[in-house]
Each structure stands twice: as structure tokens, then as C-alpha cells.
Homo-oligomer: A and B are copies of this chain.
Amino acid sequence: MRKLYRLPRSSKFESIMNKPYFRHLFAPELKSPVFVEGLPGFGNVGKIAAGLLIDFAQAKLFAELYSPYFPDYVIVDKEGICRPPRYEFYASSTGKNHFIILTGDTQPSLEDLVAHYETCGEILDFVGKYGCRLLVTIGGVPTPEPKGEIYVAATSKKLASNIAEKGAATYGMGRIIGATGLLLGLAKIRGLKGLCLLGATTGLKADREAAFSVFQFFMKTLGTDVKT
């Protein structure tokens, strides 16, 4: 037998995976970016909308988040290459508004409350270092017969009504679960302003229409004067 495997000398067998781990690819230069979150959820509205924004804003992947709260499998692509599930952070500095966009393969299990709180806290810490000035979370809201409605909730009444004026309904007297809700809630405790855009969806399958409606509304809203 011959040894022909070529391994880098510096193969890093280092940290133990018992806490979330950020892996930086490059350090983007961003000016007071808006942080946008779109993760898997009802109708995959958030994830699809985030993908549309990533394309539109020519955003580049600059960081990955791996976490022991994510599923304990690896994802294998069609060429047989595997990687653990992860969150991805994209940066865009091409337009007037700079963006950090979060999307990913998964979310922590809804039953693991601490995982959800800790992960959202880590993410707010992370984007806080880039001076984010506004948080926008995007998700779906289950509706029997969706007709493209957009709902808004926010960290303040002023911000909520301001966004509602642009054509969204106020999402009142309810709950918003997962990262889409919790990021906003934790942002509020930290004194950060944020809003949540929810697209009406049956939630039964990936809903590109609902996601596109939210994306359009997002672009329209960010292009005009929003009083916070």
C-alpha cells in the first residue's frame, strides 16, 4: 500500500462543536446595513424571498454559521460532496442600502427553546458588529385562501403603522414563531428597531408567489421614506 493522500499539514483539529461557530469567508465593508432574515418556515416564504433579494442585490456569501443545534446529519450534493447544515450570511453594498442577508438550510427544533434564543442572540451579536441599523425578518403566515396579503409587525407602533401605510395589514393580537419572531423580540429588548413582513400562504408547499409578493413589498418599502 502506498500513502498518496495529501492532507494539509495544518489540518485544524481544534474546537469542540458544542456551541455555534461562525466561519468567516471575508470581511465585507458595509455602511449601516439593513439586516434581513429569511429562513425555512411556513411556505418557505422567508427563505425564497431572501434568495430573491440575494440575487437582486448581488449579495456575496461572507460568513457561515454551524451549530450543534442544527440537525445531526450532513447534506450531500449531487457530486457526493457533503457538509453540515448551516446558516449563510450574504453581504451587499451595491445599492444605496447595504444589506446583510441571512438564509439557511434549517432552523433549530421548535422544541429546543434555549437553542432558539441562543442562536438568535448570537446572530444579533454578529450583525451588531457590522453596525446594523434595522432588522427586517421575513416569513409566511398560514392563511386558508391567501391572496397576496402582506402583514407587518414591528418593535414600535410608529414603525408598524409607517409600514402599514405602504400597503401592509397590521399583524395584531397574535404570535410569530421561530427566528422570524424571536430575532425581532430580542432586537427590541436590545434597543434595536426592527420589523417583520409576513406573506399569506397556505403553508403546505414552497410558495414562490407569496415570497415574491413579500420581496416586492420589501423593495418598495425600503425605497421610500420610512419613519422609525
Contacts and interface: CB of A to CB of B under 8 A. Distances in A.
Contacts of A134: 5, 7
Given A113-B70, A118-B16, A120-B17, A76 B182 contact: no
A216 interface: no
A25 interface: no
A145 interface: no
A76 B175 contact: yes
A72 B113 contact: yes
B122 A7 contact: no
Given A82-B184, A155-B82, A189-B23, A76 B5 contact: no
Those 10 A-B pairs whose CB atoms lie nearest each other, nearest first: A13-B128, A68-B117, A80-B160, A84-B185, A17-B121, A72-B116, A74-B185, A1-B96, A16-B121, A74-B181
Interface of A: 1-8, 10-18, 21, 23, 32, 34, 66-84, 95-97, 109-110, 112-114, 116-118, 120-122, 124-125, 127-129, 132-134, 152-157, 160-161, 164, 170-178, 181-182, 184-186, 188-193, 196, 222-228
6 contacts: A7-B133, A11-B128, A17-B120, A68-B117, A76-B175, A80-B164
